[in-house]
């Protein structure tokens, strides 16, 4: 954002602020002790402050190690909470990227709305749930991601469902990598239904790993981001990291392992039951998928949908639902997801209207003589 566009946006904010009651306006000055972190906190050319201004409709004016927040009281308090949380991250040695600014603002909004997550530490600072390996630390960027990470800590079986770009698969792989690195589990097992290949993997060239690799590329990408490449390669060779097609799980008991099933919406009812009953002693299962993107043949029931209906009230089973507000990719992705969801909702409503009309017309037909009955009389 250029300074010209910032000044024009500030003018429009000032005009809207002038219309607001004076009691709703506030003026907050924040001072940060460590001058070495100010550049990272405010961003290059104050880009992080500009993003906060754009998202919340306030003024954030930097001067030395201080920032002055002017605008609506609720928005300024959100900005304050977000900046303090980002500063704490920098003190802990983490980096701040534009996506982290968005995440801090979302978490601050959740705290402002008094949602149960994220939790607040005694000093009223946001306690972001995080996943740490030697190579990287991942911090939750939305309240749902926070709940998801905490659910993986708490439950032995976790379902993460929602649209693409919400981080459900990436966070699951990151959590599994952290458990493996800490020695909490002995194996990491990755699986995914190969619906596009009709589960006939024998017709594909290469060994089993070569056959399944194209379907597990997103999982590999996350794994290599969380762990050194040589460690991932050694794990694949030794069996510590195992790639197992869903069709080959039958008859196994997966003990002392973290097992990840991706794209679970494309499992059949029998496949899902078979997979879930592989859980052994000292193991965790994480199941991810998007129930709105089922690629199964028409008329075939999704195992994920069935499992969610049957199991979510069982202790040690947790279901975390993501939606379009949790999309952490380009902000355009969130709008795209919303557009498709709206179209799907409208199509569903249209089907229900057509069905209701047919029902009404059928009732009218029943009340009048049928053509054959009229002819007989």
DSSP structural state of residue 276: H
pLDDT band for 10, please (50, 70, 90 cuts): very low
Is 327's pLDDT higher than 60? Answer: yes
Count of domains observed in the chain: 2
Average pLDDT in the 139-166 region?
88
Residues 91 and 187 occupy one common structural domain:
no
User: Are residue 113 and residue 210 in the same domain, yes or no?
Assistant: no
Domain for residue 19, yes or no?
yes
Burial of 163 (0-12, 13-18, 19+ CB in 10 A): buried
Q: Is residue 132 part of a domain?
A: no
The structure's pTM equals: 0.63
Pick the range with the lowest mean pLDDT from 57-66, 280-289, 322-331. 322-331
Whether the pLDDT of residue 13 is over 50: the answer is no
Residue 282 and residue 141 share a domain: yes
Show the tokens assigned to 121.
């530490």
Q: What are the tens digits of pLDDT across the range 86-142?
A: 888 888 888 887 778 887 887 777 666 544 444 444 334 456 788 888 888 888 888
pLDDT of res. 212: 61
Domain-terminating residue out of 326, 343, 369: 326
* Sequence-distant (≥ 6) Cβ neighbours of residue 356 within 8 angstroms: none
Average pLDDT (235-256) is 84
Span 67-81, average pLDDT: 86
Looking at 95, 125, 155, the residue that finishes a domain is 125
Residues 6+ apart with CB under 8 A from 117: 110, 143, 146, 147, 150
Residues 45 and 156 in one domain: no
- Residue 338 lies inside a defined structural domain of this protein: no
Q: Classify residue 249: in a domain, yes or no.
A: yes
209 within a domain of the structure (yes/no): yes
311 and 254 part of one domain:
yes
Domain residue limits at 217: 137-326
Whether residues 13 and 119 fall in one domain: yes
Helices (H), the chain: 3-19, 38-42, 47-56, 73-91, 98-112, 143-154, 168-182, 208-212, 217-226, 229-238, 269-276, 303-311, 331-367, 371-376
Alpha-carbon distances, residue 368 vs 12, 59, 156, 360, 363 (angstroms): 65, 71, 60, 13, 9
Decide if 215 is inside a domain.
yes
In this structure, the answer to whether residues 101 and 244 fall within a common structural domain is no
Per-residue confidence (pLDDT) for residue 3, from 0 to 100: 42
Task: Determine the pLDDT at residue 296.
Answer: 81
- Token duo for residue 351: 């089907």
Tell me what pLDDT residue 197 has: 42
The confidence band for 352, taking pLDDT boundaries of 50, 70 and 90, is low
Q: Convert 75-93 to b/e letters by CB count within 10 Å (16 or more is b).
A: bbbbbbbbbbbbbbbbeee
| pLDDT tens string 283-293 | 999 999 998 88
Are 148 and 111 in the same domain? no
Mean pLDDT of the chain: 77
Domain-located, residue 101 = yes
pLDDT in tens, 190-218: 888 865 544 444 555 556 556 666 667 77
Give yes or no for a contact between 149 and 171, defined as CB atoms under 8 angstroms apart.
Answer: yes
Two tokens, residue 66 = 């201080």
Place 5 in a pLDDT band, splitting at 50, 70 and 90: very low
**How would residue 247 be classed by pLDDT, with cut points 50, 70 and 90?**
confident
- Residue 366, pLDDT > 60, answer no
End position of a domain, from candidates 90, 125, 160: 125
**CA separation (Å) from 64 to 3, 60, 67, 92, 187?**
19, 13, 8, 22, 50
- Residue 84: CATH number of its domain: 3.30.1370.10
Query: What are the C-alpha distances in Å from 183 to residues 89, 144, 169, 176, 186?
Result: 26, 27, 21, 11, 6
Share of the chain above pLDDT 90, in %: 16
CATH number at residue 150: 3.40.50.300
pLDDT for 18: 45
- Verify that 119 and 180 share a domain, yes or no: no
> Do residue 89 and residue 149 come from a single domain?
no
Q: Could you tell me if residue 366 is inside a domain?
A: no
pLDDT of residue 374: 45
Cα 16 to Cα 9, 57, 90, distances in angstroms: 11, 9, 34
Quick one: 95 and 15 in the same domain?
yes
Q: Give yes or no: residues 153 and 294 share one domain.
A: yes
Specify the residue for token string 């017709």: 203
């Amino acid at each position: 954002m250029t300074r010209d566009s910032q000044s024009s946006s500030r003018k429009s904010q000032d005009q809207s602020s002038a219309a607001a009651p004076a009691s709703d306006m506030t003026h907050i000055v924040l001072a940060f002790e460590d001058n070495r972190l100010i550049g990272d906190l405010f961003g290059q050319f104050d880009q992080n402050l500009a993003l906060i201004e754009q998202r919340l409709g306030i003024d954030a004016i930097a001067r030395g190690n201080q920032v002055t927040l002017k605008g609506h009281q609720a928005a300024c308090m959100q900005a304050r909470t977000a900046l303090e949380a980002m500063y704490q991250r920098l003190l802990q040695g983490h980096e701040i990227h534009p996506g982290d600014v968005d995440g801090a603002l979302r978490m601050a909004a959740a705290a402002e709305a008094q949602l149960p997550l994220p939790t607040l530490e005694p000093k009223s600072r946001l306690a972001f749930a995080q996943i740490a390996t030697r190579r990287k630390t991942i911090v939750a960027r939305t309240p749902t991601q926070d709940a998801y990470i905490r659910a993986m800590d708490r439950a032995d079986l976790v379902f993460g469902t929602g649209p693409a770009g919400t981080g459900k698969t990436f966070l699951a792989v990151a959590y599994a990598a952290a458990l493996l690195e800490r020695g909490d589990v002995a194996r990491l097992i990755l699986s995914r239904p190969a619906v596009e290949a009709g589960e006939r993997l024998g017709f594909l060239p290469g060994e089993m790993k070569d056959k399944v690799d194209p379907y597990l590329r997103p999982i590999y990408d996350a794994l290599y981001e969380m762990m050194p490449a040589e460690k991932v390669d050694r794990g694949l060779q030794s069996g510590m990291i195992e790639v197992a097609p869903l069709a080959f799980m039958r008859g196994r008991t997966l003990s002392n392992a973290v097992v990840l099933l991706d794209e679970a919406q494309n499992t059949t009812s029998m496949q899902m039951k078979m997979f879930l009953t592989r859980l052994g002693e000292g193991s965790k299962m994480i199941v991810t998928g998007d129930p709105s993107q089922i690629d199964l043949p028409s008329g075939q029931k999704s195992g994920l949908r069935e499992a969610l209906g049957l199991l979510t009230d069982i202790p040690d089973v947790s279901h975390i639902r993501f939606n379009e507000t949790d999309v952490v990719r380009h902000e355009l992705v969130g709008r795209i997801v919303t557009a498709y969801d709206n179209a799907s909702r409208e199509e569903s409503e249209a089907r229900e209207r057509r069905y209701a009309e047919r029902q009404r017309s059928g009732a009218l037909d029943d009340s009048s003589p049928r053509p054959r009955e009229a002819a007989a009389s």
